[in-house]
Amino acid sequence: MRIAILGAGFTGLSAAYQLLKKGHDVTIFEKENSLGGLAVGFSDPNWDWTLERAYHHWFTNDDAILKLAGEINHKVIIKRPSTDIFIKGKTLPFDNALSLLSFPHLPIVDRIRMGMVIFYLKQINNYKKLEGKKAANWIRKWMGEKAFSLIWDPLLSGKFGEYKNQIALTWFWARIKKRTPKLAYPEGGFQMFADHLGAEIKKLGGKILLNTEVKNIEDLKKEYDKIIVTLPSPVFAKIANLPQGYKKRITSIPHLHAQVLILILKKPFMNKTYWLNITDKNFPFLVLAEHTNFMNPKNYGGQHILYIGNYLPQNHPYLKMDADELLKKFDPFLRKINPTYHSSLITHHLFVGPFAQPVVTVDYPKKIPAFKTPLKSIYLANLDMVYPWDRGTNYAVELGRQVASIVSDE
């Protein structure tokens, strides 16, 4: 079969790889000038490795993508970087039972309660029994008001803003269940990994057309037997003539855009923290991720890399700011964590990932699109279909594999 795949993120690349192995004729259409989608990277003349525009890592149980890395012989590095929390002006460890038990800002009863609830969630395998419940209400009820307002409310609020009280408990469960203390990372960065996969796709006879935006899906119908769309649903709705009811349903999932400011520094920003959750609601960002406290700075010419991350709704004023304006806004808050960082700042970059985070509300399961669309021979596989897990490249690889097997078998 002649198959067109729209999008060269990990869903598109994975689908292409599987279909080529089954002997199909595959062409990928990608709007940008490189592979990788939301996990796309960039490089610098001083660096040996590429760097993602938005912080990325794998969990050690991300089986689909780790298996794929093994299959194409791409080395994976596994480390245990530190995950901390910034609370009441201090950075505290927040990634194991001991750190929970010694957490200073909660009475011991609440700490034990929080630890037990996290343990309970980790033990649950059948998430279906958690469906229909809202994370905020449930956390408040079982962990207590103090733990909720000190830790979880600010984190839900930072991630989902106005939707924070609507978020499904299954989403929260998946975050707790999936997390592994050790994290994995492809040698050379996600861009090198995507390029490696792209090279394997070409070896198998696949074609990859970069800088090729598909503006109307009808244009491809004559030339291809089947078309797989891996673009965000609102983009799919723009390039295809979809029946009204279907269009309304697939575009009813709200999305947030990811905004990431990257600081390149001469010196480390934090001591050893890789991941810092910010719980102070006055801070204008949600997370700091110091990549070079995870991967060795020598891969980046000895430079240190700090990501400052936010998820924002379409109309948020930060999305209208450029990198300088944003840094000016963030600067007083960054100084609260590292008062002298500015003297070691080399440069900074800004990245916006559109439609990067579907908002997983309690009614989400009803909204998830199917692989088959109402349009003949056109299939959809995008990150809105990842549930209850938090969307990520591991699930993109799984989606790609699933859609490939449906398309190939029909």
Ligand X SMILES: Cc1cc2nc3c(=O)[nH]c(=O)nc-3n(C[C@H](O)[C@H](O)[C@H](O)COP(=O)(O)OP(=O)(O)OC[C@H]3O[C@@H](n4cnc5c(N)ncnc54)[C@H](O)[C@@H]3O)c2cc1C
Which parts of this chain interact with ligand X (CB under 6 A)? 6-12, 29-32, 37-39, 54-58, 213-214, 230-231, 235, 239, 258, 260, 309, 353, 356, 382-383, 391-394, 396
Q: Which is nearer to ligand X, 215 or 343 (CB)?
A: 215
Q: Which is nearer to ligand X, 118 or 352 (CB)?
A: 352
Tokens of 17: 């790889």
> Residue 34: which residues within 8 A CB-CB, separation 6 or more?
40, 41, 191, 194, 195, 210
Q: C-beta of 235: minimal distance to ligand X in Å? A: 5
Q: How far apart are CA 162 and CA 312, in angstroms?
A: 10
Q: Which is nearer to ligand X, 106 or 168 (CB)?
A: 168
Q: Which is nearer to ligand X, 34 or 43 (CB)?
A: 34
The answer to whether 24 and 3 have CB atoms below 8 angstroms apart is yes
Q: C-beta of 309: minimal distance to ligand X in Å? A: 6
The answer to whether 115 and 100 have CB atoms below 8 angstroms apart is yes
Residue 302 region, left (φ>0) first, then alpha (ψ -120 to 50), else beta? left
| CB-based burial label for 208 (10 Å; 0-12, 13-18, 19+) | buried
Q: C-beta of 251: minimal distance to ligand X in Å? A: 15
Q: C-beta of 54: minimal distance to ligand X in Å? A: 3
Tokens of 182: 């050790």
Q: C-beta of 311: minimal distance to ligand X in Å? A: 8
Q: How far apart are CA 251 and CA 367, in angstroms?
A: 9
Q: Which is nearer to ligand X, 48 or 213 (CB)?
A: 213
Q: C-beta of 325: minimal distance to ligand X in Å? A: 20
Q: Which is nearer to ligand X, 133 or 187 (CB)?
A: 187
Q: Which amino acid would we find at residue 178?
A: K
Among residues 280, 241, 258, the alpha carbon closest in space to that of 374 is found at 241
Q: Which is nearer to ligand X, 6 or 250 (CB)?
A: 6
Q: C-beta of 124: minimal distance to ligand X in Å? A: 23
Q: C-beta of 379: minimal distance to ligand X in Å? A: 13
Q: Which is nearer to ligand X, 55 or 152 (CB)?
A: 55
For 91, 179, 203, 369, the CA distances from 59, given in Å and listed in that order, are 23, 6, 29, 26
- What is the biggest distance separating any 2 CA atoms in the chain, rounded to whole angstroms? 67
Tokens of 118: 């996290």
Q: Name the helix (H) or strand (E) containing 358.
A: strand 345-358
- Residue 226, helix vs strand vs coil: strand
